[in-house]
Amino acid sequence: MLDYAHLEALLAVEREKSFDGAAKSLGVTSSAISQRIKLLEERIGAVTLNRQTPVSTTELGAILCRHAEKVIMLEDDVLQQNQQQIGASNNAYRHIKIAVNDDSLSSWFMGILRANALRDNPYLLEVSIADQDYSIDQMKSGSALAAISIDKEPVQGFESIYLGTHVYRASASPAFMKRYFPDGVTTEALAMAPSLRYSSLDDLQIQWIKQVFDADVYPYSHTIPSSHGFVAACLEDVAWGMNPALMVDKYMEENQLVELMPGKTLNKPLYWHCSRVIAEPFKQFTQTVIDEATRLLDQSIPEEKKSK
C-alpha cells in the first residue's frame, strides 16, 4: 500500500509549487518533505516531480495526487457521517482541484464559492482557469476532479450534468461602432475592426461571425486574458468582444455598450463534470452549482438546439 503521509507531501508540493512552500503548509521541514517524496518514488519506482522551478508533478505524480484527493474525500465523508460513533469530528480542510472558465468565474460562479465558504466544513478549492471548450482535457489528464465544459459526454470515470446556456453578446462601445462600423456591420468591416480574444485558443468571435454571416473571417485581435478586462476594454473603445450577457447587460441598459447585431447571440451550453469517485462526498457542492446555474444561466433554449 502507498503511505498517505508521502502522498500528502506530494499533494502539498503540487499545490505550493516548491518544497519550502509544501513544508510550511504542513508544518514540517523541507528535508522532511524531500525525504517523504524520495521514499514514495522508491516505493513506486518512478519519478513523481519535475524538480525545476517552479516544481511540477509528472504525469504519474498528477495521477497519484488525484488518487490521494479522492481517498481523502471518501475518508472524510465516512467520518462526517459517523461522528457519533467515532466520537470526534474531522475539522481539517479538504483541498480539491476544479477547472472553471473565466467567464463563468467572473459572472455567476462566485456565488458557489461563497456558499462553500459559509459551510461548517468548506473545501479549499484550487481553481484553474480553463476555457470551457478545452476543460475536458484537464479531466482527461487528471488535473481536475470537477470542471465546467461545453462537452456533454463525460470522460471515463466522470458524470455530466447539464447546467444551462451561457449567452454571449458581440458588443462594443457606441464610439467604437461609429469609428469602425459607420456603414453597418459587414464582413469587410469585421475583418478590419480590432476584436478581443482571451488566448490563442479563444475563437468565440470567429464562431459568432460564422454563425451570423456564414463567412470565415479572422479579425485582428488584442489578447487580454481576463473576462473583466474584456468588458473594460470594450467600455474604453479599445475593441469589440464576445462578452457574457450576465456581465454586459447592465451596460447596455445604460447605452455604454451596444450589440454589433442586436439579438444575434452566441449560446454555449455548459455542463458540470465530476469524478464518480467523489460524487457522493461532493454532492452538496455539486447541488449548489446546479442551483446557481439554474438561477442565473439561460434555461429557455432547449438543450438539443444549442450550438457548441
Percent of the chain with pLDDT over 90: 64
pLDDT in tens, 177-225: 999 999 999 999 999 999 999 999 899 999 999 999 999 999 999 999 9
Q: How far apart are CA 243 and CA 227, in angstroms?
A: 8
Segments making up each domain of the chain, as ranges: 1-92, 166-267
1-92 and 166-267: same fold? no
Cell numbers at 48, concatenated: 513523481
Whose grid coordinates read 487528471? 142
pLDDT in tens, 118-143: 988 888 898 999 888 888 888 887 77
Q: What is the mean pLDDT of residues 277-286?
A: 89
The residue behind cell 481523502 is 72
Architecture of domain 1-92: Orthogonal Bundle (1.10)
Is 3.90.78.10 the CATH classification of the domain at 166-267? no
Fill in the amino acid letter for 69.
Answer: E
Cβ atoms of 16 and 22 within 8 Å: the answer is yes
Distance CA 20, CA 264 (A): 52
> Which are the contacts of 224, defined by CB distance < 8 A and separation ≥ 6?
196, 197, 198, 230, 233
Q: What is the pTM of this model?
A: 0.77
Categorize the per-residue pLDDT at 80 as very low, low, confident or very high, splitting at 50, 70 and 90. Answer: low
Q: For residue 307, which of 204, 220, 186 has the smallest C-alpha distance?
A: 204
Query: What is the DSSP code (8-state) at residue 93?
Result: -
Higher pLDDT, 281 or 243: 243
- Nearest CA to 241 out of 165, 172, 167 is that of 172
CA angle 205, 211, 213 (to 5 degrees): 95
In the chain, the amino acid numbered 79 is: L
Whether 266 shows a pLDDT value over 80: the answer reads: yes
